[in-house]
Amino acid sequence: MEPDDLFYTCVYCWFRKLAKLGGLDIFVDDFKVSLLGYSLISSLYALFLSCVWTIYAYPFDEKLICSTFLAFGCQGVVKFHVFLKNHKEVKAMCDFNLKVYRSNKESSHNKTLLTTAVNIIVFIFKGGISFLIATAILTVLKPSITYLLIGIVEPVIPTYIPMLNENEFSGYVALAAFHTYLLFVFVIGTAAIDFGLMVFVLQSYTLSAIFRNAVDNFNSLVGKNEQDANTIEVRASLRNLILMHMDFVNFTKTLKLTYHEICLVEITMANAIMIVLLYVILILDWFPAYFFMATAFFQVFEYSLLGTIIEIANDKMYKAVCDITLVYLPVAEQRKVNFMILKVQKPHLLTIGGFESLNVETFVAALKRTYSVGMILINSKVQ
């Protein structure tokens, strides 16, 4: 399958199916939130209220475990509203990416880059969605396994609803159905938003590599026309570089503005989840905590890695712009290149709400803080 066809399948089939399941099919011209979308956001607010009630009315262990789902619920609410607010920008970035794939079908070097990028996207998407589904299924089955092995009835998720008696059969079934739907929302929401960010970030790196190839071709063309670089072919090639650079700047700027709120809530909540679950695993030994711990860990690692990839893409773009041959160009064309150098020195990077850069260094620092705070909680419990 050609890379543009595979990319179309990933985004306009798989990603769109996730969006449809969440009631947010942004690829239709007259987009409106469907009944599924209202059901999804209502369930997230219901989870929030359920967690508040559980924290208020139940013992400490339930309070602690419930706080992790309160954090996941906050992530879901923010992702839903941000996705809804920026749906036009998300669709525009998807359309732009498809345009890039289709416009580079004839170039062998660029086609190789795009093939590698889309294969990585497919691999990560399949692996990520498989892990999320496995986590949801095991969490749903855990109460049944516990009941069969030791005869204890437990809820799917330790959150409760006022005036619903979970000790009665009808109340337990209603609560289990609610929790199962929440896990379904967790899977499609996490997969859709994180998959979208992954596609866009990998595309930014690919754009920088394509630009590098274009710069090499331009330098080769200028080298052939040292005596008279003021030709139509040279000017057209330089104009193409300028347009490619403008596309990269606009793309990364849109990506930053679309995801900066999500990055702040995602990283903050995921770190809080890991701190609590570290305590839960070592003290309470709640089995599903291992899977949710892995999910939170992967969220922080994924976003930090993607932030690092954008930094690398901007560094590659900066080096490529600085490598453009200026010596033989007319003064007017040199000024255009100097303007590109000025613009590329102010990159648009992913940040944690504008407070801190989002990269692997941040990830390592977050793990250290998580471990330290988690150990403080555990030591206080032991003492």
- Between CA 299 and CA 270 the distance in angstroms is 7
CB 16 within 8 A of CB 87: no
Distance set, CA 113 to CA 4, 96, 97, 109, 208 (Å): 12, 17, 13, 7, 11
For the segment 14-32, what is each residue's pLDDT rounded down to a tens digit?
A: 888 888 888 888 888 788 8
- pLDDT at residue number 313: 92
Read off the pTM. 0.84
For the segment 247-256, what is each residue's pLDDT rounded down to a tens digit?
A: 999 999 998 8
| Residue 142 backbone dihedrals phi, psi, to 5 degrees | -55, -45
- pLDDT at residue number 315: 92
CB 64 within 8 A of CB 243: no
Q: Tokens standing for 340?
A: 């590109």
- pLDDT at residue number 134: 86
CB 155 within 8 A of CB 51: no
- Between CA 31 and CA 79 the distance in angstroms is 18
- Between CA 201 and CA 52 the distance in angstroms is 36
- pLDDT at residue number 383: 53
Q: Could you give the angle at the alpha carbon of 353 between the alpha carbons of 352 and 358, nearest 5°?
A: 20
**Spans of the chain below 70 pLDDT:** 225-230, 285, 377-378, 380-383
Q: Could you give the angle at the alpha carbon of 122 between the alpha carbons of 196 and 367, nearest 5°?
A: 60
Residue matched to tokens 């200026």: 326
